[in-house]
């Protein structure tokens, strides 16, 4: 009998509390606009730091703050090339010396040498 009394009351799902007598934190509405022309407002606390960009509710693109500064550009390092890394390890004179040695090996006809001429170990 007690099983029938609880059936259909939705005790777990429904809250019977009301919002009367509760003071909400002060809020501000901030407007964003995306590149596809969608405009929407997001509520933020008055004390919150407002992000310069937000995901558009309609299309998912990046929306920028209306009447605000754009996002800060991140400082990026220039890409290091193979040449830059090589120049960190060797000087130009050393590179010219290595080039001259390798050209001498190639011109002598000993192309099957897999070992660098400076290497003191014996090849197998």
Q: Is residue 100 part of a domain?
A: yes
Q: Is residue 116 part of a domain?
A: no
Instruction: Tell if the pTM clears 0.75, that is, is over it.
Output: no
Q: Both 34 and 57 in a single domain? A: yes
CATH of the domain at 44: 2.20.28.270
Nearest to 119 by CA among 105, 93, 109, 108: 105
What mean pLDDT is reported for the chain? 81
The number of domains in the chain is 2
Instruction: Reduce the secondary structure of 6-49 to three states and give it as a string.
Output: HCCCCCCCCCCCCCCCCCCCCEEEEEEEECCCCEEEEEEECCCC
Note the pLDDT tens digit of each residue in 34-61. 999 999 999 999 999 989 889 998 898 9
Q: Both 31 and 60 in a single domain? A: yes
Q: What is the bridge-based pairing of β-strands 39-45 and 53-55?
A: unpaired
Check residue 29 and give its pLDDT.
92
Q: Is residue 118 part of a domain?
A: no
Query: Whole domain around residue 55: which residue ranges?
Result: 27-65
Note the pLDDT tens digit of each residue in 74-115. 888 889 999 999 999 999 999 999 999 999 988 887 665 555
Binding residue per annotation — 20?
Answer: no
Binding residue per annotation — 80?
Answer: no
CA angle 65, 68, 73 (to 5 degrees): 85
Binding residue per annotation — 34?
Answer: yes
Residue indicated by tokens 């007690």: 2
Taking the C-alpha atoms of residue 41 and residue 32, their distance in angstroms, rounded to an integer, is 6
**Is the pLDDT at 17 greater than 70, yes or no?**
yes
């Amino acid at each position: 009998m007690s099983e029938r009394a609880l059936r259909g009351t939705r005790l777990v799902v429904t809250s019977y509390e009301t919002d009367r007598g509760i003071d909400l934190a002060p809020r501000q509405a901030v407007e964003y606009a995306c590149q596809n022309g969608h405009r929407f407002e997001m509520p933020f606390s008055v004390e919150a730091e407002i992000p310069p960009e937000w995901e558009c509710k309609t299309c998912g693109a990046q929306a920028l703050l209306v009447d605000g500064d754009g996002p800060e550009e991140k400082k990026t390092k220039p890409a290091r090339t193979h040449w830059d890394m090589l120049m960190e390890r060797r000087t130009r004179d050393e590179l010219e010396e290595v080039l001259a040695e390798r050209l001498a090996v190639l011109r002598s006809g000993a192309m099957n040498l897999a070992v660098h001429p400076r290497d003191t170990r014996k090849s197998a």
